[in-house]
Amino acid sequence: MRKSIAFFFCLFFVCTLSSQITNIIPTSTSIAQTSVADSHNWSAFNNPAMLGNVQQSEVGIQLDNRYLIKELNTKSLQFAYTTNFVNAGLSFTHFGYSLYHEMIYGLSFARNFSNIFSMGVQFNYYSSYFISSNSYRGALLPQIGLSVKLNPNFSIGFQSFNPFQTNIQTEYTIKRISSIFSLGTEYFFSPDFLWRTQMDKEISSNYRFATAFDYQMIEQMKIKLGIYGSDYLVPCLGVGFKNGRMGADLNCELHPLLGLNTMVALKYEFGK
């Protein structure tokens, strides 16, 4: 019990630390960006180990908008293909507009071992357009992910994006690419209600702490509530719909200073 209390205190002290992660990685469908231990969702460029939990092949598209500014849109596409041995995924994301844009292409493989342990690896090719040289420059970035179910209700997840801190160097500048390490937990109070926490560290930023609840209110709908602390405390609210093979998610984040972030995602599951 003392450990539990100590854990809670640690989480809240971490909350007080400022952090900010700036990257083009699309937000996950998990509310408050608590995807690292989300065993029910694979979100492109988040924890690749969750691809191992995907039961049926699926395709999804996603649009993220920041602060209602169209130049800050991120558009993503993801495809998962399941086999008995390993699941494979393809993903693509595009951020920006004609004069400035960044893209990532991803190829991932993951496997779930006995429903206890999942592991995934993703190969990302990052590409950015530099107007000064009117050219694209790119770099290959690995991404790894793990997920462990400690008991039927509790699991932890870990992932690292660009762990070797690869950057792009041009004639005039060095384009730094985010290097992120994430650790999170997922706890099922009941099959309908779960709680997730996550801590992120971008290598040159401070910590980010997030917590979220998912509640499957009815079979077709769930509501999602979360909050994360970085430089600012950002509340998040979302809703998820599922009807047969189709799924849709709408998440909103209210940045106290900059305004509203929204994410819309659509997913289609193929039959077996």
Partner 1 sequence: MHKFKFIFVLLYCVFSPLILRAQDAVNTAEQLIADIFEQYTAESEDAIDYETFYDELINYVQNPVNINKTSREELEHFPFLSDIQIENILSYVYRFGSLKTIYELQLIDGLDMTDIRRMLPFVSVGEGSDEKQKIYFQDLVKYGKNELFLRLDKGLETKEGYKLPLETENEESTQAAYLGNALYHSLKYRFHYKDRVLFGLTAEKDAGEQFWGTSNKGYDFYSAHVQLNRFGKFETIVLGDFRANFGQGLVLRPEFGMGKSSYVLNVTPRNSGLKKYSSTDEYNFFRGAGATVRLGEFNLSAFYSNKMIDGDTLNGSFSGIYKSGLHRTASEFNKKHTVNQQVIGGNVTFTHLNYQLGFTAVHTILNDILQPEKSVYNYFYFEGKEQTTAGLNYRLRWHKLNFFGETAMTGNGSLATLNGFSFSPLSKVSIVALHRYFSPEYETFYATAFSESSRINNESGFYLGAEVRPFARWKFSAYADSYKSFWPKFGVDAPDVGMDYLFQADFSLKRNINMFWRFRFEEKPENKSGSENTMPEVVPTRRTSLRYQLLYYFGDFSFKNLIEGNLFDKGDAVWTYGLMAYQDISYRFSKIPLKLDFRYQFFDATDYENRFYSYEKDVLYAFSIPMYYGLGSRYYLNVQYEINKHFSIWFKIAQTTYADDRESLSSGNEEISGNKKTDVRFLLKWEF
Q: CA-based angle 49:53:54, to the nearest 5? A: 115
Residue 67 within binding range of partner 1, rule CB under 8 A: no
Residue 156 within binding range of partner 1, rule CB under 8 A: no
Return the number of the residue (121 or 254) whose C-beta is nearest partner 1.
Answer: 254
Residue list 190-219, contact with partner 1 (CB under 8 A): 190, 192-193, 213, 215, 217-218
Residue 71 within binding range of partner 1, rule CB under 8 A: no
- Binding residue (CB under 8 A) for partner 1 from 59, 88, 139, 225: 225
- Binding residue (CB under 8 A) for partner 1 from 37, 104, 234, 263: 234
Residue 227 within binding range of partner 1, rule CB under 8 A: yes
Q: How far is the CB of 223 from partner 1 (least distance, A)?
A: 8
Determine whether 114 is exposed, middle or buried from the number of CB atoms within 10 Å of its CB (0-12, 13-18, 19+): exposed
b/e 218-257 (16+ beta carbons within 10 angstroms → b)? eeeebebebbbbbeeebebbbebebeeeebebebbbebee
- Binding residue (CB under 8 A) for partner 1 from 229, 238, 240, 247: 229
Residue 16 within binding range of partner 1, rule CB under 8 A: yes
Q: What 3 state SS string does 93-135 have?
A: EEEEECCEEEEEEEEEEEEEECCCEEEEEEEEEEEEEECCCCE
- Binding residue (CB under 8 A) for partner 1 from 113, 220, 243, 256: 256
Q: CA-based angle 161:144:24, to the nearest 5? A: 25
Q: Tell me which residues touch partner 1 (CB under 8 A).
A: 1, 5, 8-9, 12, 15-16, 189-190, 192-193, 213, 215, 217-218, 223, 225, 227, 229, 232-235, 237, 254, 256-257
